Amino acid sequence: KVTEEVLFFPDDRVACKDYFVGEDGCNNNDCRFTHFPNSLSRLYEFINGAKGRLDVCVFVICCIDLADLLIAAHKRHVLVRVISDGEQTEITGSQIWNLRKAGIAVRTNKSSFLMHHKFVVIDDQLLLNGSFNWTRQAISGNQENLMALGNKRIVSLYTNEFERLWNAFDPQ
């Protein structure tokens, strides 16, 4: 069955990454994060489910937990590629440098216009797309949406857009 889900934010509480996608679950008896499924926990599961390829094309990436999931995917040999906005990589809290330090290739636009997409393609078969930037404010404060669509034709349009931008933003 083709995936077709919509996640709305904000969540009431921040989902515990360890509980939902950690190898050993959450061992913290005083965990201040929630163990009830919500929009963020579902997003954790989608990203953690990547087996071969993660194409991330997101304007702002500041959320440490989501960046950590990309690094974890990279460590288990998923091909992780990240496109983000050039100016946003300089802001306080940006996780772009942590991604690069971990060995993940990141490309950005050099123009003063915005690389404003907020989409992810997982294993060439699932698209996440909406208004959702990877920030704590988007998770816990803002009104946001994120669609998860497995429709092949739509996914391929976004894969093409990712490749086009990846080549356009080639640092060479």
Is 116 marked active-site?
yes
Query: According to CB under 5 A, which residues from 114 to 153 bind Zn ion?
Result: none
Long-range contacts of 105-110 (CB under 8 A, 24+ apart): 105/80, 105/81, 106/82, 107/81, 107/82, 107/83, 107/165, 107/166, 107/169, 107/170, 107/171, 108/83, 108/84, 108/169, 109/85, 109/165, 109/168, 109/169, 110/86, 110/169
Any contact of residue 115 with a copy of itself (CB under 8 A)?
yes
Any contact of residue 20 with Zn ion (CB under 5 A)?
no
Is 123 marked active-site?
yes
Is 118 marked active-site?
yes
Q: Which is nearer to a copy of itself, 78 or 115 (CB)?
A: 115
Active-site residues, by number, are 116, 118, 123
Which residues are near a copy of itself by CB under 8 A? Answer: 4, 6, 8, 10, 59, 109, 111, 113-119, 129-131, 137-138, 141-145, 147, 151, 153-154, 157-158, 161, 165
